[in-house]
Chains A and B, each alone.
Chain A
Amino acid sequence: MDLKSVDFIVDKYQEKRTALISILHDVQDRYRYLPEEALRMIASRLRMDINEIYGVATFYKSFSLVPKGRHSITLCMGTACHVRGGPKILRELKSFLCIEPGQTTSDKQFSLNVVNCLGVCAIGPVMMVDQKFYGEMTPIKARRIIEKINNKRSGVKS
């Protein structure tokens, strides 16, 4: 594995231990998860125990120790989205993608995540696919968005 980027990221934060969370964010953005080799390298560069870094990486929900899919689907489970039918959308996505939240489809295309609140409560239920927000979701709309991405990939006209 090419770990040059990890070096670069740690340099950017001047090897500050307090920047650990920011470093992990950047590494995850780069590799789409936190590879063990990268964590070991961060540990040695920050002169920290690998256990401590593992503790942080598993405590915070944003981090993943397993590779994520190409497209990330984030579904908001905040209160406003909940009362407007967020759980129905989750049920639909789970059955459509055949995965649970936190998992990735076997073809490594989609990862499904749920978060506490995306902070776009006024237009709930909200879903975010690859950093793009979709408001006023319904189960069927959510499925169509995923289908569209899938079709684009396989070249089918939608």
Chain B
Amino acid sequence: MRKVKSLKDLDQWRDDILLKQKRYEMTVSVCGGTGCHAYGCKKVRDQFAKGIKNNLMDKKIRLRFTGCRGFCERGPIVTIQPHGIFYQKVQEKDVPIILSETIGKGKVLENLLYEDTSTKRKISSEREVSFYKLQNRLLLGNNGLLDPAKIEDYIGIGGYQALAKALFEMEPEQIIDEVKASGLRGRGGAGFPTGQKWNDCRHAQGSPKYIICNCDEGDPGAYMDRSLLEGNPHSILEGMIIGAYAIGGSHGYIYVRHEYPLACQNGEIAIIQARKAGLLGKNILGSGFDFDVEIAKGGGAFVCGESTALVASIEGRVGEPRSKQVHTVNRGLWGKPTNLNNVETWANVPLIIERGSQWFSSIGNEKSKGTKIFSLVGKVKNTGLVEVPMGITLKEIIYDIGGGPQDGRKIKAVQTGGPSGGCIPASLFDLPVDFDSLTQVGSMMGSGGMIVMDEGTCMVDVARYFVHFLEEESCGKCLPCREGLKRMGQILDRITEGEGDEESLALLEELSEVVADTSLCGLGKTAPNPVLSALRYFRPEFEAHIHQKRCPAGVCTSLIQYVISEACTGCGACAKICPTQAIVGEKKQVHRIVAERCSKCGSCKDVCKVEAVMVQ
């Protein structure tokens, strides 16, 4: 790898890379995100590599193994440029045909194209796919253009140009002013103005100053940070170096969850490459500025996403938060001023520096600027990562991008903000998605999880799920959170088991108030949100559990039983699949479920072709 010692070197390197890339007539990109990995993208990639080599096409065709493309549900995804062909659900066996037909003869293979769910039309280009059409993929878009393990790819698309601009054309204060003017707010959830945080840290007393990137993406149902760090790690490094220069930081950490091995690996590779290239370490690009970054791994504790707990964890201690009377910008890592931002926040920084604050603030709405990545998951047709301008409505995200309900059942709510957020009912789907609107209705933006729920989702069960989640993850330092959540969990357990009484809901509300008011850190303070929002919008569901001992969604196992109706054709599929052999009946006769043996797993309902299995 070459070492760049000046701005001129960087430009020269980029020119050389582009010249080299021009030699190729075609680029085949195979998505290597974690979702596609589960569908076997590695085999697809290997098959392409073999095929290209065997056909002596390696001088003409470039094979790229990219980061996550977002449309995970349709993986493995393969795109072919410059034609712009978008193939989905590509399997190993399809590769030779793609090589001979599409690459050899320019023929588009219909069976691998995406079929529009409403018009049933086959779509050949990525831009025309409804999932992508409404998106504005400023950050995620680059994932498809580069191999995360190759710094050359990032340099080729203009990477580290923003850093060069910051180092050679701007003063640190100017950078902070630019970030302030852009209106960028922290993407970790709370939405604190980034420029202001940088300014506070720059003027904080003490040295050295530390820069931290928070990739402890603990919110269940959210994985945008993972995809950014996996798919485009250099953009995060570039953001961090610019931030460090503006703040006066000399050392940085990327704190990554241990559950994200590929993110750790790609982050590590990027750091090593950037060091070798002279973009990290001493005298970056010959500017005289020194800064280095290392990866710190988490240990599977949700609370470590909280800044003071994260700092304790990097120090090698138990991840317990402390009171925030003194902020981490003043006393953070080892008692020194520390600036901590989320992965997505850092990834926005190079864009703002390169294209200017005015351009950035033109995207979004009044108080929330730029784009936000959401992980659109749950009971929705098109699941994956979506990047949209702030201010777009929930309806547009769920119905236009997400394609509406997954299996015909009516969507009733969307959960945002993870365990600190809440459930927003379908009646409020015209709400613009920004920091303030979501908070107003009792939820929050959070890091960007968006879990769609339909009539088959029990809101009491969801509330119970979150409370148990947080009870398990509470570090135990303060009493309201440790004991309060435990009691809330017990009350909710009783309700789902059909043993709730008149006082349950009032007690639940009272406890929620105490836990929120008196807990030490953000985990406890926001813990009651999922319960309170569920009670606010779905109270009748709670009441049905308590008064009628009935679970309307058919989820709470103590309150339901599976039965087979007269519609049964006696095919025997259910009896065959039943793990507890609870289904009896003669062939071609109506079958019966023996209630004592039934584990209520629902496998019979999933497998029944005539919908004869019912929940009562």
A interacts with B: yes
Partner-B contacts on A (CB < 8 A): 17-22, 24-25, 52, 55-56, 59-63, 77-85, 88, 91-92, 95-96, 115-124, 126, 131, 133-135, 138-140, 143
How many A-B contacts are there with CB distance less than 8 Å?
167
Contact B219 A117 (CB under 8 A): yes
Contact B451 A80 (CB under 8 A): yes
CB distance from B150 to the nearest CB of A (A): 23
Collect the chain B residues with CB atoms within 8 Å of residue A134's CB.
38
Collect the chain B residues with CB atoms within 8 Å of residue A124's CB.
377
CB distance from B613 to the nearest CB of A (A): 14
Contact A21 B378 (CB under 8 A): no
Contact A62 B258 (CB under 8 A): yes
Contact B301 A122 (CB under 8 A): no
Partner-A contacts on B (CB < 8 A): 34-35, 37-39, 72-73, 75, 217-223, 226, 257-261, 296-302, 313-319, 375-379, 383-385, 415, 418, 449, 451, 453, 457, 462, 465-466, 469, 473, 475, 577, 579-580, 599-603, 606-607
**What are 28 residue pairs bridging A and B, where the CB atoms are less than 8 Å apart in the complex?**
A20-B316, A21-B296, A22-B296, A56-B317, A59-B318, A60-B299, A60-B300, A62-B258, A62-B299, A79-B378, A79-B466, A80-B221, A83-B457, A88-B602, A91-B600, A91-B601, A92-B579, A92-B599, A92-B601, A95-B580, A117-B222, A119-B34, A119-B257, A122-B73, A122-B375, A133-B37, A134-B38, A143-B579
Collect the chain A residues with CB atoms within 8 Å of residue B415's CB.
79
Contact A120 B38 (CB under 8 A): yes
Contact B261 A131 (CB under 8 A): yes
Collect the chain A residues with CB atoms within 8 Å of residue B377's CB.
80, 121-122, 124
Residue of chain B at shortest CB distance from A114:
B472
Q: With the chains together, A79 CA to B383 CA distance in Å?
A: 14
Question: Given that A78-B220, A79-B418, A118-B259 are known contacts, is A135 also in contact with B35, CB under 8 Å in the complex?
Answer: yes
Candidates A60, A84, A95, A119; contact of B378 at CB < 8 Å: A84
Contact B72 A123 (CB under 8 A): yes
Question: Given that A56-B318, A79-B415 are known contacts, is A25 also in contact with B258, CB under 8 Å in the complex?
Answer: yes
CB distance from B169 to the nearest CB of A (A): 36
CB distance from B519 to the nearest CB of A (A): 19
CB distance from A21 to the nearest CB of B (A): 5
Contact A79 B579 (CB under 8 A): no
Collect the chain B residues with CB atoms within 8 Å of residue A83's CB.
378-379, 451, 453, 457, 462
Question: Given that A83-B378, A121-B223 are known contacts, is A91 also in contact with B35, CB under 8 Å in the complex?
Answer: no
CB distance from B601 to the nearest CB of A (A): 5
Contact A116 B220 (CB under 8 A): yes
Contact A121 B34 (CB under 8 A): no
Collect the chain A residues with CB atoms within 8 Å of residue B469's CB.
77, 116
Q: With the chains together, A119 CA to B318 CA distance in Å?
A: 24
Candidates A82, A115, A135; contact of B300 at CB < 8 Å: A115
Question: Given that A25-B297, A117-B221 are known contacts, is A17 also in contact with B579, CB under 8 Å in the complex?
Answer: no
Contact A79 B221 (CB under 8 A): yes
Question: Given that A80-B220, A80-B451, A83-B453 are known contacts, is A21 also in contact with B38, CB under 8 Å in the complex?
Answer: no
Q: With the chains together, A52 CA to B315 CA distance in Å?
A: 13
Given A21-B297, A117-B217, A122-B383, 9 more A-B residue pairs with CB atoms under 8 Å apart are A25-B299, A59-B299, A61-B299, A62-B299, A78-B221, A80-B221, A121-B375, A121-B377, A123-B39
Residue of chain B at shortest CB distance from A57:
B299
Q: With the chains together, A155 CA to B422 CA distance in Å?
A: 50
Pick the most buried of A21, A63, A133: most chain B CB atoms within 10 A of its CB: A21
CB distance from A53 to the nearest CB of B (A): 9
Q: With the chains together, A23 CA to B418 CA distance in Å?
A: 30
Collect the chain B residues with CB atoms within 8 Å of residue A133's CB.
34, 37-38
Collect the chain A residues with CB atoms within 8 Å of residue B298's CB.
21, 60
Collect the chain A residues with CB atoms within 8 Å of residue B219's CB.
117
Candidates B73, B260, B599, B600; contact of A119 at CB < 8 Å: B260
Q: With the chains together, A77 CA to B259 CA distance in Å?
A: 13
For the complex of A and B, the 4 pairs showing the least CB-CB separation, nearest first, are A60-B299, A78-B220, A122-B72, A133-B38
Contact B602 A85 (CB under 8 A): yes
Pick the most buried of A20, A61, A138: most chain B CB atoms within 10 A of its CB: A61
CB distance from A155 to the nearest CB of B (A): 24
